[in-house]
Amino acid sequence: MNWKRDNAVDPALAPELEPELQEALLNFRGSVHAWSGEVYAQPRRAMAVSRHLSWRVALGGAMASLLAAGTLGGVYLHQRAMVRHANTPVAAAVRRAATVAAEPSAVSGGASADERKLDEAAWDVAAIQDLLASDDRQARQDVQAAGGEQGEVDLLAEVNSDVERRAPRAMEPLQRLMDESETQ
Amino acid sequence: MAAGALARPIEETAADRVQTRAVEAVTEEFAKIVADHRQQIFRFLLSSTRDVDLAETLTQECFLKAHRNWHSFRGESSAMTWLMRIAINLQKDHWRNRRMQFWRMTRSNSVDLDEASEWLPSGERSAEQKLLAQEQVKHVWRAVDRLSARQKTVFLLRYVEEMDLSEIAAATGLSEGTVKAHLSRALTKVREEMKGRP
């Protein structure tokens, strides 16, 4: 086989073909050889390739940084959401505290000033409940399972302080009840 | 003892020299292979891909792979057939990877048919003959675009690289009968294209 044949038309290449097809094939061959020869003789473009590659690497790095930042942000937001979910039992505890706070006045059928205070406290507690009621059930179950009884006690203490902070008047009847029971 | 200790480095140096000469001989031999066949491999890859950058890259990869496996070349086929087989496999791998990682390619560097058809061998031709030849080349490129990967490879090896059937069979790993069948189908499509009925 002669690999260095020149670009001249060679009828021996396809003797079985009709002349028009044969000519087309030989023109095709000549065209590819001419194109390839021209391109092959040109100097290599190593710098251009290298620059192109470094640009791609830089773009890839930027994309990777964005992805990492997005992932970290997502993890942070997820953690925040979990903490918010953890406050869900607080709503139940707040409800209990409000009930306890309301009981003495209901039993004693006390004075109108006390009743007004209790009503206001109940409204405050209801507002807190509304704020906390948006948590979903799944998260509540997770937290309850993870927390256990000790968690409940801690949460109750947290609730007390939270209620005291956000609705100071709500805790007054409870405190009074506790004082009375201590003196008895 | 002392004489033995002195003699050993001298022996090792001699062995090193022999080894160095052997490595040099292999390097020279391979350099000759590269010089003889690089352009043909590049031309085949260029006609297969119509992409200059890709053809250059695949040609380099082909010779890199050939250099790594040079010890396994036993000379059962010609060096050109062996190199062509490597080039065909690299090309297949490239298209397979590209299909898998299509999102990585933002653009294609392939030359379009019109541009590829503009090339003609230098020679004394009238303007009319040149136009006619360019038209014929364009028809053949259009037909090549419609060929399957195997048909295209076989067609280009036969009518551009002028390999005979047995060499094409050795380079592609197909039987000669299959090569003939692929060539026949490819020529049918070229005829159809030239008659203007796809």
Query: Of B109, B124, B153, at which residue does a domain stop?
Result: B109
Place of tokens 């050109």: B80
Distance between CA atoms of residues B81 and B70, nearest Å: 14
Which residues in chain A have Cβ-Cβ distances shorter than 8 Å to B136? 23-24, 27-28
Instruction: Kindly state whether residues B105 and B116 are assigned to the same domain.
Output: no
Instruction: Kindly state whether residues B140 and B92 are assigned to the same domain.
Output: no
Alpha helices in chain A (DSSP H): 19-41, 46-86, 88-108, 112-132, 137-166, 168-183
Which residues in chain B have Cβ-Cβ distances shorter than 8 Å to A27? 120, 133, 136-137, 140
Distance between CA atoms of residues B196 and B192, nearest Å: 6
Instruction: Kindly state whether residues B70 and B55 are assigned to the same domain.
Output: yes
* Nearest chain A CA: its distance from B66 CA (Å): 19
Q: Any chain B CB within 8 A of the CB of A7?
A: yes
For residue range B87-139, what is the model confidence (pLDDT) as tens digits? 999 988 887 776 656 555 544 567 777 777 777 777 767 888 888 888 899 99
For the residues of B40-58, what is the DSSP string, one character each?
Answer: HHHHHHHHHH--HHHHHHH
Q: What angle do CA B55, B80, A27 make, to 5 degrees?
A: 60
Instruction: Kindly state whether residues B99 and B119 are assigned to the same domain.
Output: no
Number of independent structural domains in chain B: 2
Instruction: Kindly state whether residues B6 and B100 are assigned to the same domain.
Output: yes
Instruction: Kindly state whether residues B101 and B183 are assigned to the same domain.
Output: no
Confidence check: pLDDT of B176 > 80: yes
Instruction: Kindly state whether residues B45 and B128 are assigned to the same domain.
Output: no
pLDDT confidence tier of residue B167, bands split at 50, 70 and 90: very high
Which residues in chain B have Cβ-Cβ distances shorter than 8 Å to A17? 187
For residue range A125-181, what is the model confidence (pLDDT) as tens digits? 666 666 666 555 566 666 666 666 566 667 777 777 777 777 777 767 777 777 777
For residue range B1-27, what is the model confidence (pLDDT) as tens digits? 455 555 555 666 777 887 787 777 778
Query: Of B54, B83, B109, at which residue does a domain stop?
Result: B109
Q: What's the N-to-C CA distance of chain A in angstroms?
A: 118
* Nearest chain A CA: its distance from B174 CA (Å): 20
Task: Name the more confident of A64 and B24.
Answer: A64
Query: Of B80, B109, B138, at which residue does a domain stop?
Result: B109
Q: Any chain A CB within 8 A of the CB of B167?
A: yes
Which residues in chain B have Cβ-Cβ distances shorter than 8 Å to A20? 194
Is B46 in contact with A34 (Cβ distance < 8 A)?
Answer: no
Instruction: Annotate B66-91 with b (16+ C-beta within 10 A) or e (fewer).
Output: beeebeeeeeebbbbbbbbbbbbebb
Instruction: Kindly state whether residues B67 and B163 are assigned to the same domain.
Output: no
Instruction: Kindly state whether residues B35 and B127 are assigned to the same domain.
Output: no
Q: Any chain B CB within 8 A of the CB of A43?
A: no
Give the ipTM: 0.83
For residue range A7-24, what is the model confidence (pLDDT) as tens digits? 334 555 555 778 889 989
Dig out the tokens for A171 from the structure. Answer: 């805790």
Range of the domain at B123: 112-198
Q: Any chain A CB within 8 A of the CB of B46?
A: yes
CATH of the domain at B69: 1.10.1740.10
Instruction: Kindly state whether residues B5 and B101 are assigned to the same domain.
Output: yes
- Output the CA torsion sign for A35, A41, A46, A47: negative
CATH of the domain at B118: 1.10.10.10
Task: Name the more confident of A1 and A88.
Answer: A88
